[in-house]
Chain A
Amino acid sequence: MNKAICLKVEGLSKRFGGLAANEDIHFSVEEGEIVSVIGPNGAGKSTLFNCVTGFYKPDRGSVFFYGKNITGMRSDRVCNLGIARTFQIVEVISEMTVLENVTTGALLRYRRIKPAMEKAGEILTFTGLYDKRHFLGTELTIADKKRLEVSMALATAPRLLMLDESMAGLTKVELREIIDLIRKIRDKGMTLIIVEHVMEAVMQISDRVVVLNSGKKIMEGTPKEVCSDREVIQAYLGEKYSALVK
């Protein structure tokens, strides 16, 4: 069965002065897949996200979303086309309630407040934050803030959701919940790209894993393939981890 190509990145490069944050990166994501991007700190994962979502302009290379060239497109237009994302350092509107935060996202697809707010209510029920809808953005725990950020991203009705370290700093229980949420999102037919350090989660949910090191893609494959790759072990996972997998 041939599935549609959701995202295609071709020869993407981005330099900051003398530092090559992304160098000639190629990969593609099929519709409905969960693809993880892993690698040590400074490998260029967030830069890659920023290049895809229009926050940075890549120096070279192209990004295609369902065949449409979106290279260097303004970030709000990228969002409008159907790519939503979260940030490594969580971003919510602190002076708004949870419901208003998500409503702001839903307003991308609705002109009036009322239907947008209804949509926001549905999404909060889906993500499990509905009971806290009247809390202010600032009053949430870090886990709930991350959940809120995901809810806001979902409210823009994306086809591709990109999560930047949504699991960092969470407890085991919270981790379990967010993994369930990600699976639920995928079951709704959405495609997901996630940047993650929590390997336990990456192994569980990813269909494929892309490994970056010093700005370059060093490996791509199923979680199992990646775990047994010598280069990946040396660059990122460490000997101890690979021993555990075996």
Chain B
Amino acid sequence: MPNFPMRQIIAGFAILLLLIVFPLVISQPFHIHVMILVFMFGMLGVAWNILGGYAGMFSFGQAAFFGIGAYTSSYLSIAYGINPWIGLVAGGCAAALVAAAIGYPCSNLRGHYFAIASIAFAEIVRIVFNNWQLVGAAEGLSLPMQNESFSNFLFNSSKLPYYYIMLAFLLLSLAVCYFIATSKMGYYFRAIKESHKIAEVLGVNVVLYRLMAIMISAFLSAMAGTFYAQYILYIDPGSVMLLATSIQIVLISMLGGAGSIMGPVIGAAILIPASEYTRVALGFKGTGMDMLIYGLLITLISMYYPEGVWKLLSRLGRQLK
């Protein structure tokens, strides 16, 4: 387990300070928007990593949890005027319950089979929401304009509050992941990742710990979903429940470094700007050049650093000592 040396703590605080100051110096909204996306996908990556990187359950259905979070808080807000902060927790709980309901019957599925089941699950959720009149079906939900305030989780005049809230969410998810990785749960997750057989023979209640992994992951993903809804103020199944989003979450985590605490954040910090800026710079030409470059980057990382960029960084860090 990481036994943080002084140098790492200082580096961590320096980066955090930079991130806090960043939007005060760089004022163009687009750059701030990209950073918000980095934090959001970083958080989704961290949530995936708890499930996939630590417990070895390769979920390709994280968008379902993200969407359930977005829908729960939005629907509660529109239909009952419930505060989005309460909706945030409600969304997390709803996603965790759904995760438990689907995770329990999948208790014996490992590897590819779990991945397939997770895709099927997420697609079913998407199709249900696409046809569910109560939640706007394919038209989705538009959140009403309210006075901007922290308690309303709504800000019109500036992206800054969103930036800081998402940064705080990301830090929270990292704290959760750190706590798991350095506790009994983390050890048991890693045993389960190796094989159910070995976990059982060491006295691990495999079904229970797998449920915990998937519920925690779902809760955090749903928090990001509520954030997204409050940020964009419009959601539909085509934007918050896409398979493409689920795959992007896996890519970010794997290329950043699955099974390490910071890996997914590094992955998001590389892939999200790469995707956004190439799109802005080249996307308008309609030639698909932006996707080509993005794809090339992914190919290069998976060819040369299949264990993730984080492994490379920590190796470099060790050599510097």
Contact = CB atoms under 8 A, between A and B. Distances in A.
A153 B202 CA distance: 7
A104 B193 CA distance: 13
What size tier do the contact residues of chain A reach? 20 to 34
Per CB-CB distance, the 9 closest pairs between chain A and chain B, nearest first, are A79-B203, A108-B203, A75-B200, A93-B194, A91-B198, A104-B187, A105-B202, A76-B200, A107-B184
A79 B187 contact: no
A74 B197 CA distance: 12
Contact of A91 (B193, B197, B259): B197
26 contacts: A54-B200, A55-B200, A74-B205, A75-B200, A76-B199, A76-B200, A76-B203, A76-B204, A76-B205, A79-B203, A80-B203, A87-B197, A87-B201, A91-B194, A93-B198, A94-B194, A95-B193, A105-B202, A105-B203, A107-B187, A108-B202, A113-B184, A152-B202, A153-B201, A155-B202, A156-B203
Contacts of A92: 194, 198
Determine which residue in A76, A85, A105, A155 has the highest number of CB atoms from chain B within 10 A of its CB, and name it.
Answer: A76
A91 B195 contact: yes
A64 B190 CA distance: 32
Contacts of B51: none
B241 interface: no
The SS class assigned to the B binding surface is helix
A93 B190 contact: yes
Nearest to B199: A76
Contacts of B205: 74, 76
Contacts of B240: none
Interface residues of B, number: 22
B188 interface: yes
Interface string B203-215: 1111000000000
Given A76-B200, A113-B1, A95 B190 contact: yes
A53 interface: yes
Interface string A196-225: 000000000000000000000000000000
B260 to A, nearest CB: 11
Contacts of B195: 91
A33 to B, nearest CB: 22
Contact of A104 (B182, B200, B202): B202
B191 interface: yes
Given A91-B197, A107-B184, A113-B182, A156 B190 contact: no
A107 B183 CA distance: 10
Contacts of A84: 201
Determine which residue in A55, A85, A105 has the highest number of CB atoms from chain B within 10 A of its CB, and name it.
Answer: A105
Interface string A62-89: 0000000000001110011000110100
